[in-house]
Structure 1
Amino acid sequence: MQFNEPAGETLFDNAKIVGKAHTRIDGPLKVTGQAPYAYERYDVVEGQLYGYPLGATISHGTVTAMDTAAALAAPGVRTIVTTLDVEPLALGMLNVARLFGGADVMHYHQAIAVVIAETFEQARAAASLIEVSYEQGDPADYDLDAAFERLQGSGEPDTLYGDVDAAFRDAAAVTDQMYHTPGESHQMMEPFASIVDWSDGGQLTGWISNQMINWTRGSLATTLGIDKERIRIESPYVGGGFGGKLWLRADTVLAALGSRAVGAPVKVALPRPMMMNNTTHRSATVQRIRLAANADGTLKGIWHENVSYGLPGGRGENATAQTPYFYASETMRVKNHMAEMPLPETADMRAPGEAAGLMALEIAMDEMAEALEMDPVRFRIVNDSQVNPSNPDQPYSDRNFVQCLERGAEAFGWDASRPAPGSRRDGDWLIGQGVAGAFRGALVQPSGARAAIENGKLVIETDMTDIGTGSYTILAQTAAETMGLGMEDVDVRLGNSAYPVSSGSGGQFGAVSSTSGVYAACMALRERIASDLGLDAPAFARGRILAGDVDRPLLDMTVEAVESIEWGDFMKQYQKATFGAHFVEVGVNAYTGETRVRRMLACCDAGRILNPVTARSQVIGGMVMGVGAALSEEMALDTGRGMFVNHDLAGYEVAVHADIPEQEVIFLDTLDPIASPLKAKGVGELGLCGVAAAIANAMYNATGIRLRSYPLTLDKMLDQLSDV
């Protein structure tokens, strides 16, 4: 199906199922422990052995020798595959770090061996017996502040329009500040884990935890040098991804090599420390943001420059991603830099770019509002834009940011004439409120599905994944609505490379793309049924096929159709994005500096909300991540060893239940006919964007102390609290 023009009136405009609250259909399996995750798939293949990985203990250099004799002699050990046994493997899709093979070490905890044994404990014990000799590389420079000083002003701007220098020279108010965000780790509950059967060296079957089946299948084929058609991947349940499981990782490669070497299926789960130092993460950033404004609050100039780190050939964290698109400005200069450092690979983590960028930009917006003595909500409204600011000929498909601010402010009880910073108190606690805008692009991907009537059920098959987001449920809703059936009549099957290729889960494109693909397949099924029955445009309602005198049950048939959604070039005429406003109230202890979030509210604009239950779950989950990003999360870098030292859930502190108070979510539930046939957009990353800055702004309102370096821990304000 080609989506070549804006959606007109559709069957979803009077929907009975899509857009309605429905609990997750996979929920009972999850809460009863019956949903099998990758490492738990004991029933899929017999004779599974255990693999335990060994990571490099230098940041960069070479492995000169490996003595495995003691490990091979340990109880239960079947074999050991070392990096010196294998030629350097090819790089898969968007990989810049070699996952295995060869003597070169690019980062700490790069996989250099895997021990295969009869039990997990035997494999782990034997891995500790391997003796490794290294040649350490030259000392590395991990100073990101120095990198910013070195790189700022260099290179051609990524976005440049207007006379920026003149704008700052002539402005009524100017702000110019530096902001720091730390490295962040995905740290999902389920580790990176795989079972791989490549025992005969022919067909490779992997049961893995992965967000993108087709991408990973292709990367695995490239990495191992085998035909993609010889690979089958299953990933029906994923225990969290956040972008970390978009790509092929070492667990799958090690399990495959181990399976081939030992002639039996092998399962590998990366230990928690290797999730921090072996897999991908969000890079730290150093950002300089300069704003210039007229006396009426309109922005004359935006100057945003960012540096993050990455491996050679990598991407870093583009914290300027949102800046060219979010706020109107007479002039703009935006530049993103990357400094090469021998650290684990930087790649996508929930809202890549925007999450870190808005942590800085939305503080800067508050600082300018203060300089102008304007209400920060009003200041953002004044600088709204219904067109792409860096391309005025490109209108937004639908943008309701102002409504998000106004609805959110009203529901939150926002006081536009808030008390002065540090003046509101509740016992020992200084009370403050903060706001921040949220922006995330509305991406789409081609996505396909198979729709079939089989054995009295509507069966939907697609390699789409459910990473805890509710994919099973919204795809069932889409299919049931399109075919005039009930939810109980639909059997959704996901996460298998034997099924039609979908968008996969990531980039906030999963829901909108995969539901459109299922819609396309169901519409093709309707056409096939009409053709087979010789009917002209029959209706599908109440489980029946209706046309003139024809009235027959749909589920009595046996018929199938395979179709995908393809996105037309007309969409390029528009800028597509999602928007939100986050409001937060905090308490800061006047004596200890401890900060507690008291209440949170998000108002979101993401087109048609396909299921308010699963959408709300996504948004509040993002808000929780925002609390962690603001107050506690930080990958602590040992610059001497080039490693992140707090590599477990005791040292890397994510937000927990006690940190999260009342959360409220409001959806505008608008319709965007440009975005998709369902007039929907993604929402999964919008809940994170801006949250940390709203907390930072609330902390300033509570204390009068402005923090610009995350996480916003008490030690950074304790010496100033005596003045409050």
Structure 2
Amino acid sequence: MTERLESREKVTGTARYAFEYPVENVAYVAAVQASVGRGEITAVGTEAAMALPGVLAVLSCENAPRLSDPPDGELAVFQSRTVSYRGQFVAAVVGETLETAREAARLVHVEYAPEAPDVRLRTDHPSLYQPGKVNPVFPADTEQGEPEEVFNNSAVRVDVTYTTPAEHNNPMEPHATIALWDEHGYLTLYDSTQGASTVQSMVAQTFGLDPSHVRVVAPHVGGGFGSKGIPKPNVVLAAMAAGAAGRPVKFAVPRQQMYATTGYRTPTIQRLRLGADNDGRLNAILHDVVEQTSTVKEFAEQTATPTRVMYQAPHRRTSHRLVPLDVPTPSWMRAPGETPGMYALESVMDELAIATGIDPIELRIRNDTDREPESGLPFSSRNLVACLQEGAARFGWAGRDPATGVRWEGRKLIGTGVAASTYPAYMSPNRAIARAEPDGTFTVRIAAADIGTGARTALALIAAETLKADLGDVRVELGDSAFPRASVAGGSSGTAGWGTAVVRACEALRAKLNGAVAGGRGGSSHAGNGAIPPEGLEAAADTGAELKAREKYARHAFGAQFAEVEVDADTGEVRVRRMLGVFAAGRIINPATARSQFIGGMTMGVGMALLEESVMDEEFGDFLNRDLAQYHVPACADVRDIDAAWVEESDPHLNPMGSKGIGEIGIVGAAAAVGNAVHHATGIRVRHLPITPATLLPDL
């Protein structure tokens, strides 16, 4: 029932997204972005804008209310005259209509004392530094043994540098907020967010409010890919504008403005060194990463952390270095860290396979391990080899000619490639309420977010199984900070974290219902769950203590990605003929939504490999391509046949459902599989993404 209602609402257009809530007397916000890459605001001219009929207010650093204690530098909207990057919000207009607000924003005149921005990432930057931690709380550097010495003495050595560009999330629904204050100073936000509870707490701190005075409503979210994991400046700006106008306001960030204000994946420069003996067994792994952050807030992507997990080698080092630049702040984008890090690592493993003359799948199997190499913890389960072998059988890997640039079909070069995938099985503390209704149905409430992943369906299945009830009798309500606090929809932790809270709440409810039966209380009953009192019955759960008591295991999902490509020898165009992913991600709660998530991630990996690149203007700052006409994402023609499968995996060390999360792992390794296939087809090793005709043609 829940999933049928969910799909019906979405396909008929009745599902409400943030900008669509019917709020009376609403006004509209349009923001003004900085036109310089660095400097100070010397004056803000608002006369022409205020003279336009229908303009209600103009906000800037000259008249904005003082915020209390923003927990994030990007949320300190209009609190300073400093311009930290081009595209930063420096003023905003509130108008009776959206057209009025936008026209008035064009009339706001901001004067600057500009300075030359520093926006280029490079390994010799004088401000390069070691962060204390990388996202979320990993050490920036790790080292075991004598990696430099052992690498230099290894029989086979690969020493290469891979680079990845900035990339933008581009969810279909833009970052959008409706903000309204009531007469008691309570703030309601209808927001497109991956975490209503997180927005509630961070916005409350920003405005100096008790969290109970802020309500965030987000039952449907049109995608986020990480960019909506924490509130961005648009949320604070909307709340500020509603206060200034004295009425509710709507603010949807235009696509072109999102590129500077809603986060992106940091570009990376990754030097990888692999030392092995002649049979391909690794002796040393060194993975050194340079990436950027902003001067507003530090964000350090955990790019080298998957190298700490994947392959055994007694001597190893990983490191992260940051450069603070005059750029927007990087943020989460699907599988942050693992995505660029595994692209480089799995590409280099392919290079090692060629250097040793060993099949790429066999090389990975020889270096498999049953313990996390750096922590020494046993894996709760690790079925990487099973994924590689199952994928090879399904894909038809046997008999593959390892020679490069030899398989032709007309004027097309054909090649195949493989790469491994991994992603941590995260869990966070969560709370949930399960309620038995007098009519014999059940309601589960949790402030989780459904960002298009089918969270409602998965949680309803989990609740129905635990309650031993029919799925049609279970209703899941989420996306409201008034419900029990929930973690962000990200890190592939949603089903695992929220689901555990739902299981525990439903178990507690069943115990209460059975107690009611034993006590002889009257009422209705349903599905063997005991008596339901006339007033209903509910139970709550908090999983914080349970998580603290978990045994020490390394918990990760694994997978294998396979790709076949064709490269036009005359134009350099690359097409992915077919792609297969095989994953070991614990119990799959809902096969339909799982397959969709795997394939969605794999498709993003094709975009990473062949299309996606946010180009920084090195003279003025800000990204040059700022819409979907110029920032290219994959379409059907770019990958003609794509499929995902999984191996059955039983892991008792995860959570009550045995699930690991699947939202992120589909993208991990996908770009490397495509890149390795391009090399196999052409003999050309491209070490900078995306792989475009311009990079291939000179050597074809």
Q: What TM-score results when the alignment is normalised by the length of structure 1?
A: 0.92
Query: Is residue 184 of structure 2 the alignment partner of residue 184 of structure 1?
Result: no
Give 1:148 shift.
9.7
Aligned pairs for 1:482-561 (under 5 A) are 482-534=466-518, 543-545=527-529, 558-561=536-539
Give 1:200 shift.
3.6
Aligned position for 2:136 = none
Aligned position for 2:50 = 72
Match of 2:558 among 579, 582, 586: 579
Q: Is the 8 A contact 1:199 1:260 kept in 2?
A: no
Q: Is the 8 A contact 2:467 2:529 kept in 1?
A: no
Match of 1:335 among 319, 325, 328: 319
Q: Is the 8 A contact 2:513 2:529 kept in 1?
A: no
- Give, as a single letter, the amino acid of the residue that structure 2 aligns with 1:487: L
Give 1:96 shift.
5.3
Separation of aligned partners in 1, 2:219 and 2:326: 35
Give 1:296 shift.
1.8
Give 1:75 shift.
2.4
Aligned position for 1:168 = 151
Separation of aligned partners in 1, 2:72 and 2:425: 21
| Partner SS state of residue 380, structure 2 | coil
Separation of aligned partners in 1, 2:65 and 2:24: 30
| Partner SS state of residue 165, structure 1 | helix
Give 1:391 shift.
2.3
| Partner SS state of residue 469, structure 2 | coil
Aligned pairs for 1:48-67 (under 5 A) are 48-67=26-45
- Give, as a single letter, the amino acid of the residue that structure 2 aligns with 1:357: G
Cα offsets for 1:112-147 (capped at 9, x unmatched): 122111111111111000000011134425142443
| Partner SS state of residue 550, structure 2 | helix
Separation of aligned partners in 2, 1:129 and 1:251: 20
Aligned position for 1:687 = 666
Match of 1:246 among 211, 219, 229: 229
- Give, as a single letter, the amino acid of the residue that structure 2 aligns with 1:33: G
Cα offsets for 1:467-518 (capped at 9, x unmatched): 0001110111111111111111111111111110122311111111111111
Separation of aligned partners in 1, 2:683 and 2:407: 11
Cα offsets for 1:52-76 (capped at 9, x unmatched): 1111111222111111111111121
Q: Is the 8 A contact 1:63 1:134 kept in 2?
A: yes
Aligned position for 2:104 = 126
Query: Is residue 593 of structure 2 the alignment partner of residue 609 of structure 1?
Result: no
Aligned pairs for 1:296-311 (under 5 A) are 296-311=279-294
Aligned position for 1:32 = 12
- Give, as a single letter, the amino acid of the residue that structure 2 aligns with 1:344: P
Aligned position for 1:633 = 612
Aligned position for 1:397 = 380
Q: Is the 8 A contact 1:324 1:390 kept in 2?
A: yes
- Please identify, of 700-709 and 128-137, the stretch whose mean Cα deviation from structure 2 is larger: 128-137
- Give, as a single letter, the amino acid of the residue that structure 2 aligns with 1:244: S
Structure 1 residues 164 and 612: alpha-carbon distance in aligned structure 2, compared to 1, 3 A threshold: same
Structure 1 residues 339 and 150: alpha-carbon distance in aligned structure 2, compared to 1, 3 A threshold: closer
Match of 1:364 among 327, 342, 348: 348
- Please identify, of 654-663 and 511-520, the stretch whose mean Cα deviation from structure 2 is larger: 654-663
Unaligned residue ranges in structure 1 (runs of 5+): 1-16, 547-551
Aligned position for 1:287 = 270
Separation of aligned partners in 2, 1:153 and 1:120: 42
Give 1:27 shift.
1.2
Separation of aligned partners in 2, 1:365 and 1:693: 10
Aligned position for 2:88 = 110
Structure 1 residue ranges, 4+ long, deviating more than 6 angstroms after superposition = 148-157
| Partner SS state of residue 626, structure 1 | helix
Give 1:661 shift.
1.6
| Partner SS state of residue 13, structure 2 | coil
| Partner SS state of residue 543, structure 2 | strand
- Give, as a single letter, the amino acid of the residue that structure 2 aligns with 1:37: Y
Separation of aligned partners in 1, 2:61 and 2:306: 41
Give 1:333 shift.
1.0
Query: Is residue 454 of structure 2 the alignment partner of residue 470 of structure 1?
Result: yes
Query: Is residue 579 of structure 2 the alignment partner of residue 595 of structure 1?
Result: no
Aligned position for 1:449 = 432
Aligned position for 1:219 = 202
- Please identify, of 416-425 and 621-630, the stretch whose mean Cα deviation from structure 2 is larger: 416-425
Separation of aligned partners in 2, 1:24 and 1:148: 57
Q: Is the 8 A contact 1:465 1:495 kept in 2?
A: yes
Separation of aligned partners in 1, 2:187 and 2:406: 65
Cα offsets for 1:97-119 (capped at 9, x unmatched): 63432211112211112211111
Aligned position for 1:672 = 651
Aligned position for 1:10 = none
Aligned position for 1:13 = none
Q: Is the 8 A contact 1:200 1:263 kept in 2?
A: no
Tell me how large the CA RMSD over aligned residues is: 2.3
| Partner SS state of residue 366, structure 1 | helix
Q: Is the 8 A contact 1:193 1:269 kept in 2?
A: yes
- Give, as a single letter, the amino acid of the residue that structure 2 aligns with 1:242: F
Aligned position for 1:660 = 639
Query: Is residue 254 of structure 2 the alignment partner of residue 271 of structure 1?
Result: yes
Query: Is residue 325 of structure 2 the alignment partner of residue 345 of structure 1?
Result: no
Cα offsets for 1:180-227 (capped at 9, x unmatched): 100010111100000000254701001000001111111101112222
| Partner SS state of residue 309, structure 2 | helix
Q: What TM-score results when the alignment is normalised by the length of structure 2?
A: 0.95
- Please identify, of 300-309 and 51-60, the stretch whose mean Cα deviation from structure 2 is larger: 51-60
Separation of aligned partners in 2, 1:468 and 1:141: 34
Separation of aligned partners in 1, 2:165 and 2:525: 53
Separation of aligned partners in 2, 1:344 and 1:581: 34
Give 1:91 shift.
5.8
Separation of aligned partners in 2, 1:649 and 1:370: 38
- Please identify, of 90-99 and 23-32, the stretch whose mean Cα deviation from structure 2 is larger: 90-99
- Please identify, of 191-200 and 234-243, the stretch whose mean Cα deviation from structure 2 is larger: 191-200
Structure 1 residues 518 and 93: alpha-carbon distance in aligned structure 2, compared to 1, 3 A threshold: farther
| Partner SS state of residue 586, structure 1 | strand
- Give, as a single letter, the amino acid of the residue that structure 2 aligns with 1:117: G
Aligned position for 1:206 = 189
Q: How many pairs were matched up?
A: 689
- Please identify, of 485-494 and 182-191, the stretch whose mean Cα deviation from structure 2 is larger: 485-494
| Partner SS state of residue 275, structure 2 | strand
